[in-house]
C-alpha cells in the first residue's frame, strides 16, 4: 500500500505571517491538531500544532491574534510523497517522532497530509494493508517521553 491510498488531500494550511488565532480557528473548523505552514509556492516551511498555540498563548504576554505562526511553528519538517510505501512513511514518523507527514509532489509542493490516525483507521478497515507491528512500533516511539530511550 502507498501513501496516496490513505492520506487526506483536502488540507488546511496557513502562511508564516498568519496569526495564531487564525491557525487555531482552522484547526477547530477542520477538527485537526496540526496544520502545514506553506509559502506562496505552497512549499512546506513548517508545521504548527494546537500544542504550539497553547504553549505560546500561556507563556507570552500577547493575545493569539497578535502572535504570528512563524514565531512558534516548528521549522523542521519531514515529508513523504504520494507514491511512497506506507512502511517508508511509518519509518519517518517513528524515527522523527511525528504524528503527521505532509505529502508533497515532485516539486515539493503540498498535496496532502498523512496522519497516524489515517494509518490506524486504514489498519482497521483494510486488513493487512498497514503492517500492524510497524504501526505499533511507531505509536510507541511517538508516545515515548522525551528522555525515554525507545528501541524499534
Tell me, what's the pLDDT at 82? 97
- State residue 61's pLDDT score: 84
Q: Where are the domains of the chain?
A: 3-143
Candidate CATH numbers 3.40.50.970, 3.40.190.10, 3.40.50.620, 3.10.580.10; the one for domain 3-143: 3.10.580.10
103: which DSSP letter? E
Q: Is the dihedral of CA 141, 89, 75, 117 positive or negative?
A: negative
3-state secondary structure of 105: coil
Give the confidence band of 130 by pLDDT, cuts at 50, 70, 90.
confident
- pLDDT band at residue 75 under the 50/70/90 scheme: confident
Condensed to tens digits (0 to 9), the pLDDT of residues 56-73 reads 999 988 888 999 999 999
State how far the Cα of 103 lies from the Cα of 82, in Å rounded to an integer. 6
Q: Give CA–CA dist 124/95, Å, rounded.
A: 23
pLDDT (tens digit per residue) in 13-58: 999 999 999 999 999 999 999 999 999 999 999 999 999 999 999 9
Percent of the chain with pLDDT over 70: 93
**Is the full-model pTM beyond 0.85?**
yes
Amino acid at each position: 500500500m502507498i501513501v496516496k491510498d490513505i492520506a487526506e488531500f483536502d488540507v488546511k494550511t496557513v502562511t508564516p505571517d498568519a496569526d495564531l488565532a487564525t491557525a487555531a480557528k482552522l484547526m477547530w473548523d477542520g477538527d485537526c491538531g496540526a496544520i502545514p505552514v506553506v509559502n506562496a509556492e505552497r512549499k512546506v516551511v513548517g508545521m504548527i500544532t494546537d500544542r504550539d498555540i497553547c504553549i505560546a498563548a500561556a507563556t507570552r504576554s500577547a493575545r493569539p491574534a497578535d502572535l504570528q505562526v512563524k514565531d512558534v511553528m516548528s521549522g523542521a519538517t519531514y515529508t513523504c510523497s504520494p507514491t511512497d510505501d506506507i512502511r517508508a512513511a511509518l519509518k519517518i514518523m517513528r524515527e522523527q517522532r511525528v504524528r503527521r507527514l505532509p505529502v508533497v509532489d515532485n516539486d515539493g509542493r503540498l498535496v496532502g497530509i498523512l496522519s497516524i490516525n489515517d494509518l490506524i483507521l486504514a489498519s482497521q478497515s483494510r486488513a493487512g494493508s498497514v503492517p500492524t507491528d510497524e504501526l505499533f512500533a511507531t505509536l510507541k516511539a511517538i508516545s515515548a517521553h522525551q528522555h525515554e530511550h525507545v528501541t524499534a
